[in-house]
Amino acid sequence: MDFSVIDLSRNQLVGDASMLFGPNKTTNNVYLSRNLFEFNLSNVVFPSTIENLDINHNKIFGSIPPQMTQLPLQTLNVSYNRLCGQIPVGGKLQSLDSSSYFHNKCLCGAPLANC
């Protein structure tokens, strides 16, 4: 099934939510905040249509995939997870507010401090 909007926020859901993403999906808005989802963000392939992604306050690990620089993102919130590594340069990732990236294990690079 394909959805334009997926909102599973604030449900204390657990497990791997990466199956909600994929190159053949047409999802525009994904809201998974404030759950207990745990998966490697580095391995996720996002739909090219995704505009709003909120995955804050989970247990998501890995790094932000370079593919995210090519997405038509209007909003992004990956704060309060376990992400590491440099924020990929390009697209809108550097123009987003730094609070979108706060409280991760070791994220770095603009708009956060240098690595």
d(CA 27, CA 5): 6
Give the CATH number of domain 5-108; options: 3.30.420.40, 3.80.10.10, 3.40.50.2000, 3.40.50.300. 3.80.10.10
Residue 68's contacts (CB-CB under 8 Å, 6 or more residues apart) are 46, 76, 88, 91, 93
pTM for this model (two decimals): 0.94
d(CA 36, CA 91): 28
pLDDT in tens, 18-55: 999 999 999 999 999 999 999 999 999 999 999 999 99
Q: What is the mean pLDDT of residues 89-97?
A: 95
Q: How far is CA 110 from CA 36, 44, 60, 95, in A?
A: 27, 22, 20, 9
Q: Domain locations in the chain?
A: 5-108
